[in-house]
Amino acid sequence: MRNEKLVLVLSLFLIFVGFTAILFGYWEALQPKTGPVGNGATLPTFLQILPSILAIVTGILNLAHIVYRRRKAYFNNKDNQENKDQNPS
């Protein structure tokens, strides 16, 4: 139970961090720069965004997996409880 809660919290954290990193990357790229830094916006490339995308995908997959495990455990307990109620021995 504790392990499942930890995985749930970490998967939500990964999703949040991934989206935050992507948003910050685009925000930073669109800030006006003056002087010899350069002209115009240089948006992040795919390879720069890839770690954030992988963090989001990993978080979503872990979230789906933990929800599946929790639902499976809930319905198994529910079925076992119904069987005990029908066959008290």
pTM for the whole thing? Answer: 0.78
Higher pLDDT, 37 or 9: 9
Which contacts of 19-22 are long-range, i.e. CB under 8 A and separated by 24 or more positions? 19/52, 19/56, 21/51, 21/52, 21/55, 22/49, 22/52, 22/53
Number of CB atoms found within 10 A of residue 44's CB: 16
Q: What is the pLDDT of residue 42?
A: 82
User: Percent of the chain, pLDDT > 90?
Assistant: 52
